[in-house]
Amino acid sequence: MKSKTGIMKVKDNFDIWDFVQKNSIWLIFVICIVFFSIMTPNFLRVRNITNIFLQSSFIGIMSIGMTYLMIDGNFDLSMGSIMALSAVLVIGFMDYGIPVAVLLSLLAGSAIGALNGLFVTKAGINAFIVTLGSMLGVRGLVYIYTGERALVSSELAFSEISAASVGPIPLPVLIFLIMLILGELVLRYTSHGRGCYAIGGNYEAAVNAGIKVDKHIIINFILAGFTAALAGILMASRMNAATPTLGMEDHMIVITAVVLGGTKLDGGFGNLIRTLGGVLVIGMIRNGMNLLNVHSYVNMLIMGLILISVVYMDQKFDPLEE
Amino acid sequence: MKENECILEMRNITKTFPGVKALDKVNFEVKKGEVHALVGENGAGKSTLMKVLSGIHSPSEGEIIYQGKKVEFAGPLDAKAKGVVLIHQELSLVDEMTVAENIFLGDLPRNKFGFIDWKGLNKRSKELLERLECEFEPTELVGRLSIARQQMVEIARGLTQDVNIVVFDEPTASLTQEEEKVLFENINRLREQGTAIVYISHRLNEIFQISDRITVLRDGEMTGLLNTAETNECELTSLMIGRDLEDHLDFEKRGRDEIGKEVLKVEGLSKDGLFNDISFSIHEGEVLGLSGLVGAGRSELAETIFGVRKADSGKIFLEGDEIKVGDANKSVDLGIGFVPENRKEQGLILGRSVLDNLSLAKIRNLNRYGFIKGREEKLIYQDYQDKLDIKTPSSKQQVKNLSGGNQQKVIMAKWLCINPKLLILDEPTVGIDVGTKAEIHKLIRKLAAAGIAVLVISSEMPEVMGVSDRILTMYHGEITGEFYAEEATEEKLIKGITGIEAGACKVG
């Protein structure tokens, strides 16, 4: 039987505001390019563009893990600390050979992520508290391990990892972009991706659909730890050293990049392509301001202002508000 | 103003939301010095009516006459300023502040230096508390008071101005019996002072204790206006949930001897305070109706069987094998589907597409090397969209843009695509337009015909009687009766769900 009485409100037409809101990051992206290329002649040189990508790749790799976490409605403040830990571990264990040191660092980062995830899911403690705790705790471990000194590697082969390039593309950038594409495919086309969106979109409905919510959340915390560790290793390789204060505010910059990319803090919405936009905008601001000889503190001010205006716009045109 | 005069009249109130008529030509009036109960099941329109009164919703049709004049309040604050106070189930008090501070919150008296005039504040609060005969001090912290006393603080807050009408929205939901008594004394006192009281509840015994008149709502329509002294629980229940059978509900039922093999068996399932010693079974191809009023423990029982809640004791068997209690994703793997009462909060990922929602339960088993088999998913979608006639412009449409009935079909389809053995439907047609309702009823019978065991929980009598092969009645967490379709009558069922002994009940 066809329903005659149902008053249906179904819209499928193109909504310009919805589109602008979802893609506001690309608008900012274009504005940044126009602004900096007018202000500094060197900005659009191939060499500088490569440089922006290279500088962005460390934050970028971490933002992949963070995007996953934020889509399922969580976040991780300990990524900066994990990054530092893996950087000092990879230098510290260099004597056992590069593969062992790298593997160990990745393992340590993932393990801390797993612990974060277990505390959030099984003990039911708020992610803010859990990861704030591990942010402090892991940083403490880093200081204890290094005795507050910078560790320097004598292994030249290690520093070649981040200096290597495939064609014109530096290896860290290549790793970042490959992970980004893989990550986006996983989000779109796997049941893990669907699970993340479902959990962040409506936790209770996800549970009611038989989704193993704890498993998905723990996987994402591990991924966050893993990406932080990977970024730390590449950073250590780039400097061929590791300082205990490495990545002090990086978790905040990562969150900024992800939120700029339109991922919602309360979950259920976001993707990695737009996160790439957020990462590159931050990269351009850092790089462009540097070219303009503006002090780096001003960068922070500008990033803060952009973040708040983007989130304001985001709420103003929230597709879920009725 | 004279005694017995209507202080408030809501005339012919109609409120339509996209997809559903929430109120249909409802009349409601309150007199000075009367307690007027507003009763109905979930989704009957009680809250919507009060939202129309306070101005949160503006009515699609109809008018509100207050103190002889036509009014339209701008919102709860405006209503309060004009003497209409709404006391919600969830209190809006600040636990860490004193009683007096809470009473005058937002309008604290100040002295000439601009500081808070504590003396005046406490004195005025004391006067208000005395008027309500409350036995606690204005200087006490609100968080230390019992819920009943906190409610009195909320009432006192309303009394800072002249108040003509107090609306209590399910005030006893979180009260102990002792506290309930205190609340009723206070309501009586307000009544004696000439205040008009609107009392919203679905607990019948309270309504008989406290009210003078009763207005009954069902499905957005007003089904009765009664003097409390002249009615009884049976008549009231019948007005709340009964209705003439609709034509489309004339299905062929299975008799006593036609049942298939047992699918689900529940043995002695208990959860403290919710339900007690529940045992029953459902068979292949059978529709078992579970009838009971809100608060009887129906939904909690359903959630426990499905596994999102844990029971204190008891066993659940699926096709003879005991299943672990309290593990939803195991239940899904075993072929149990659950359509929860509250679609939007418990069933749907509103911001995701129809496709995503439809395949959500199946998705774990629709993988190759971790990747979703997209073509197969699309085929499943097309299959069920077609079978259930889900009206959506495309599979990518966000599910929040669909009408309530089509949203419910998406949830049903979500479970059908895992080929369930047992399907639990909690209030499957609440808030759904008549046409789609009929479709869902037909679908339920079709599923049973295909061999699925279906448990339908509903407070709508015609729905339960119309679709079920067998009906259980539930009251206060216990099963009170079992009837096969051919022997079930509205009268028998109402006895079961109101807990009244046989013989004591006559329905018109």
Please tell me the total number of residues recorded for chain B in this structure.
Answer: 508
Tell me the shortest Cα–Cα distance from A182 to chain B, in angstroms.
Answer: 12
Task: Compute CA distances A143 → A58, A87, A239, A242, B337, whole Å.
Answer: 22, 12, 19, 12, 52
**DSSP letters spanning B169-225:** ESTTTT--HHHHHHHHHHHHHHHHTT-EEEEEES-HHHHHHH-SEEEEEETTEEEEE
Pick the CATH number of A47-316 from 1.10.8, 2.60.40, 3.40.1350, 1.10.3470: 1.10.3470
Assess if residue B425 is contained within a domain. Answer: yes
- Interface contacts A/B by beta carbons within 8 Å: 134
Nearest C-alpha in A relative to B365: A191
Closest chain B CA to residue A214? B329
Is B411 in the same domain as B358? yes
Hey, are the CB atoms on B348 and A202 less than 8 Å from each other? Answer: yes
- The reply to whether B256 and B213 lie within a common domain is no
User: A207 CA to chain B: closest CA distance, Å?
Assistant: 7
Average pLDDT over residues A226-254: 94
Q: Is the pLDDT higher at A19 or at A142?
A: A142
Q: What's the pLDDT at A317?
A: 60
ipTM associated with this complex: 0.82
What is the DSSP secondary-structure string of B270-319? EETTTEEEEEEEEETT-EEEEE--TTSSHHHHHHHHHTSS--SEEEEEET
- One DSSP character per residue, B34-97 reads -EEEEE--TTSSHHHHHHHHHTSS--SEEEEEETTEEE--SSHHHHHHTTEEEE-SS----TTS
- The verdict on A255 touching B (C-beta cutoff 8 Å) is no
Q: Which domain holds residue B170?
A: 6-241
Q: What is the DSSP letter of B390?
A: -
Same domain, B213 and B86: yes
Which of A12, A197, A210 lies nearest to residue B361, judging by beta carbons? A210
What residues of chain B lie within 8 A of the CB of A197, using their CB? 349, 352, 356
Domain assignment present for residue B1? The answer is no
Please check whether residue B309 is in contact with residue B270, taking contact to mean a CB–CB distance below 8 angstroms: no
Say if residue B426 is in the same domain as residue B414.
no
**Is residue A191 less than 8 Å (CB to CB) from chain B?**
yes
Contacts of A219 in chain B (CB under 8 A): none
Report the number of distinct structural domains present in chain B. Answer: 3
Confidence of residue A2 (pLDDT cuts 50, 70, 90): very low
| Chain A residues near residue B332 by CB distance under 8 angstroms | 209-210
Confirm or reject contact between A142 and chain B (CB < 8 A).
no
Q: Which of A5, A198, A209 sits opposite B435 (nearest CB)?
A: A5
- pLDDT, residue A7, reads 37
Asked if residue B299 and residue B267 are part of one domain, the reply reads yes
Domain boundary among B368, B392, B419: B419
pLDDT in tens, chain B (508 residues): 445 678 999 999 999 887 677 899 999 999 999 999 999 877 788 888 999 998 888 899 999 999 989 999 988 888 888 889 888 877 788 989 999 999 988 778 888 888 888 999 999 999 888 887 788 899 999 989 888 788 888 888 878 878 899 999 888 776 777 778 888 888 898 899 889 999 998 778 888 999 999 999 988 889 999 999 998 888 888 888 776 556 667 777 776 667 789 999 999 999 988 899 999 999 999 999 999 887 788 999 999 999 988 889 999 999 999 987 777 888 999 999 999 988 888 999 999 999 999 999 998 888 888 889 989 999 999 999 999 999 888 899 899 888 888 999 999 999 999 999 999 999 998 878 777 888 899 999 999 999 999 999 988 888 888 899 999 999 989 999 999 988 888 888 888 888 776 445 555 4
Give residues 256 to 275 of A whose Cβ lies within 8 Å of B: 268-269
pLDDT reported for residue B508: 44
Do the chains contact at A201 and B350, CB–CB below 8 Å?
A: yes
The answer to whether the CB atoms of A194 and B372 lie below 8 A apart is yes
Q: Give B492: exposed, middle or buried? Use CB within 10 Å, 0-12, 13-18, 19+.
A: middle
Query: Is A204 within 8 Å of B370 when comparing Cβ atoms?
Result: no
Residue B103 shares a structural domain with residue B176:
yes
Q: State how far residue A271 is from chain B, nearest Cα, in angstroms.
A: 13
Of A6, A198, A210, the CB nearest to B352: A198
Tell me, yes or no, if A13 comes closer than 8 A to chain B by beta carbon. no
Q: Do B236 and B358 belong to one domain?
A: no
Write b or e for each residue in B296-324: b if 16 or more Cβ atoms lie within 10 A of its Cβ, otherwise e.
Answer: bbbbbbbbbbbbbbebeebebebbeeebe
Q: Is residue B362 part of a domain?
A: yes
User: CB of A275 within 8 A of CB of A187?
Assistant: no
Contact (CB<8Å) A205/B333: no
State residue B171's pLDDT score.
81
Q: Which residues, other chains included, contact B214 with Cβ-Cβ below 8 Å and sequence gap of 6+?
A: B36, B37, B38, B39, B207, B224, B225, B226, B227, B228, B231, B236
- Residue B424's closest chain A neighbor by CA? A208
CB atoms B397 and A12 under 8 Å: yes
**Chain A residues inside the 8 Å CB shell of B439:** 1, 3
| CA–CA min distance A219, chain B (Å) | 14
Nearest Cα to A254, choosing from A122, A100, A75?
Answer: A75
| A5 contact residues in B (CB cutoff 8 A) | 433-435
A214 touches B: beta carbon within 8 Å: no
Most confident option among A10-19, A171-180, B241-250, B341-350: A171-180
In a domain, B340, yes or no: no
Within 13 Å and on the Cβ side, how many CA atoms surround A88?
Answer: 24
Test B328 with A191 for CB contact under 8 angstroms. Answer: no
pLDDT tens sequence across A154-170: 888 899 999 999 988 99
Contact A320 B393 (CB under 8 A): no
Domain boundary among B370, B398, B419: B419
Rounded to the nearest angstrom, the gap between the alpha carbon of residue B27 and the centroid of all alpha carbons in its chain is 21
Q: Tell me what pLDDT residue A9 has.
A: 41
* B342 within a domain of the structure (yes/no): no
Distance in angstroms (rounded) separating the CA atoms of residues B13 and A134: 57
pLDDT of B162 reads 82
Q: Which residues of A touch B371 (CB under 8 A)?
A: 189-190
B360 → closest Cβ in A3, A10, A198: A198
Q: Is A38 on the interface with B (CB under 8 A)?
A: no
* Cα separation, B270 vs B272, whole angstroms: 6
In a domain, B86, yes or no: yes
Residues of chain A with Cβ-Cβ distance to B346 below 8 Å are 204-205, 208
Chain B nearest C-alpha distance from A189 (Å): 6
Q: Are residues B215 and B265 in the same domain?
A: no
3-class secondary structure, B106: coil
Residues B192 and B307 in one domain: no
H or E segment at B22?
strand B20-31
Which chain A residues are within 8 Å of B306, Cβ to Cβ? 208
Give the model's pLDDT for residue B4: 62
Interface test with A, best of B364, B367, B417 (most A CBs within 10 A): B364
In whole angstroms, what separates CA B446 from the centre of its chain? 28
Which candidate in A208, A215, A263 is best for mutational testing of the B interface (most B CBs within 10 A)?
A208
CATH number, residue B471: 3.40.50.300
| Contact criterion met (CB < 8 Å) for B333 and A210 | yes
Among A7, A10, A268, select the one facing B349 at the smallest CB separation.
A268
Q: Do B391 and A319 touch (CB under 8 A)?
A: no
Looking at the structure, tell me whether residues B203 and B272 fall in a common domain. no
pLDDT, tens digit, for every residue of A54-110? 999 999 999 999 999 999 999 999 999 999 999 999 999 999 999 999 999 999 999
Q: Residue B295: how many CB atoms within 10 A of its CB? A: 18
Residues of B whose CB is below 8 A from A201:
349-352
Residue where a domain stops, chosen among B211, B241, B271: B241
**Contact across the interface for B308 and A211, Cβ inside 8 Å:** no
Closest A-chain CA to B17:
A7
Residues B365 and B326 in one domain: no
Nearest chain A Cα to B368, which residue? A190
Q: Find where tokens 């509205």 sit.
A: B490
Q: Are residues B293 and B146 in the same domain?
A: no
Q: Which of A10, A191, A319 sits opposite B372 (nearest CB)?
A: A191
Residue A11 near chain B (CB below 8 Å) = yes
Distance (Å) from the C-alpha of residue B411 to the closest C-alpha of chain A? Answer: 10
